[in-house]
């Protein structure tokens, strides 16, 4: 085997990481502010919310479902936490980290019951809850918005601004810890493996006696939990919130997950890939801004990236299928 072949990454995550490094390096060469400590810190901090959500929906997408309600849940959680801490001056970061996820879990339970319990298509159900949850934010917020002064300083200033080694924001290190735990869980536990089995072939998973209801239900609760947590992260990052917070960002998260190699048809992909996907999307966005591309084109670039990712995914799937087929034919001869 030649050197190049040996250098070729074995996994999807490996190739993604290389693309990510190339993207970061390339932008850094043209605009050197991008590679400074400030630039890196900013990139990591602004990826945190999307990365959390990507970890949250990765198991769902692996199970061939989808959760579109997450962005609305982020808005609800963020607004609710801000509202409660504005009304209770003795609120600290601890209460924030309790209230936010609880709200997320409630939404997750609703989604889970409808999808797993009634077996309704997750796309339609979570479209419905996307509306309902966002509507709730509109109604309860009554167009009131909150700024940094009304939120606990222990959350916004102490934790939100905390950076390790001048590079690594606290928020992103939490994301990495959660990512590692989830990656191990998905790889080494029965429940994690079940997700892949259910996603590759739902009827077969049911026939061999996997607990499809419980796994699906808990996956939606987990995604809700992460969305609730992401709401608190949103406050830590932006230090302000109104009723349209994080509006319409669910597609950016889906794009990140798909770009990260989690197939939309279920059954393959990893949590690590999802986080790298989120980083990649953010890098390209930030990179284009650093290169002076008009912000109006942002959504077009997002869409194009997503389509390219889906296409690459399809090409890879077809190729590996052909390889497997070739192998089998060889074995038979």
User: Which parts of this chain interact with other proteins (CB under 8 A)?
Assistant: 66, 114, 118-121, 123-125, 127-136, 138-139, 248, 251, 254-255, 258, 264-265, 294, 296-304, 306-307, 310-311, 314
C-beta of 124 vs 181, nearer to other proteins? 124
CA-based angle 179:250:260, to the nearest 5?
Answer: 45
Q: How far is the CB of 265 from other proteins (least distance, A)?
A: 6
C-beta of 86 vs 288, nearer to other proteins? 288
Rounded-to-integer distance, Cα 64 and Cα 212, Å: 12
Q: How far is the CB of 191 from other proteins (least distance, A)?
A: 26
C-beta of 187 vs 314, nearer to other proteins? 314
C-beta of 137 vs 155, nearer to other proteins? 137
Q: How many CB atoms lie within 10 A of CB 182?
A: 22
C-beta of 138 vs 164, nearer to other proteins? 138
Q: How far is the CB of 269 from other proteins (least distance, A)?
A: 13
C-beta of 37 vs 135, nearer to other proteins? 135
Take residue 226 and report the two structure tokens written for it. 């992460």
**Which residues have C-beta within 8 Å of that of residue 151, sequence separation ≥ 6?**
82, 85, 86, 235, 239
Rounded-to-integer distance, Cα 189 and Cα 119, Å: 25
Q: How far is the CB of 62 from other proteins (least distance, A)?
A: 14
Rounded-to-integer distance, Cα 210 and Cα 56, Å: 22
Q: How far is the CB of 236 from other proteins (least distance, A)?
A: 27
Helix (H) or strand (E) holding 33: none
The dihedral of CA 256, 259, 263, 267: what is its sign? negative
Q: How far is the CB of 179 from other proteins (least distance, A)?
A: 23
Q: What are phi and psi of 164, to 5 degrees?
A: -90, 140
On whether the CB atoms of residues 16 and 261 are closer than 8 A, the answer is: yes
């Amino acid at each position: 085997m030649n050197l190049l072949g040996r250098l070729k990454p074995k996994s999807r995550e490996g190739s993604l990481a290389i693309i990510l490094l190339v993207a970061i390096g390339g932008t850094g060469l043209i605009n050197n502010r991008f590679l400074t400590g400030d630039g890196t810190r900013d990139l990591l901090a602004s990826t945190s919310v999307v990365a959390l959500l990507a970890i949250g929906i990765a198991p769902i997408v692996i199970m061939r479902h989808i959760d579109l309600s997450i962005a609305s849940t982020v808005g609800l959680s963020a607004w609710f936490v801000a509202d409660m801490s504005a009304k209770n001056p003795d609120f600290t970061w601890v209460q924030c980290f309790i209230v936010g996820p609880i709200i997320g879990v409630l939404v997750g339970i609703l989604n889970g019951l409808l999808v797993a319990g009634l077996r309704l298509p997750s796309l339609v159900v979570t479209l419905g809850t996307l509306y309902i949850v966002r509507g709730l934010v509109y109604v309860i917020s009554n167009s009131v918005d909150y700024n940094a002064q009304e939120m606990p300083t222990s959350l916004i200033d102490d934790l939100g601004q905390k950076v390790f080694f001048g590079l690594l924001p606290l928020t992103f290190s939490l994301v990495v810890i959660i990512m590692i735990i989830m990656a191990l869980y998905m790889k080494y536990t029965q429940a994690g493996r079940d997700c892949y089995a259910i996603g590759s072939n739902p009827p077969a998973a049911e026939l061999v006696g996997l607990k499809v209801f419980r796994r699906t239900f808990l996956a939606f609760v987990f995604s809700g939990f992460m969305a609730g947590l992401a709401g608190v992260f949103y406050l830590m990052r932006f230090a302000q919130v109104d009723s349209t917070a994080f509006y319409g960002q669910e597609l950016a998260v889906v794009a990140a997950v798909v770009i990260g190699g989690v197939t939309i048809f279920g059954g393959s992909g990893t949590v690590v890939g999802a986080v790298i996907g989120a980083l990649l999307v953010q890098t390209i966005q930030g990179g284009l801004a650093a290169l002076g591309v008009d912000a109006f084109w942002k959504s077009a670039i997002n869409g194009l990236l997503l389509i390219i990712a889906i296409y690459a995914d399809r090409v890879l799937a077809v190729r590996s299928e052909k390889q497997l087929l070739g192998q089998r034919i060889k074995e038979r001869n």
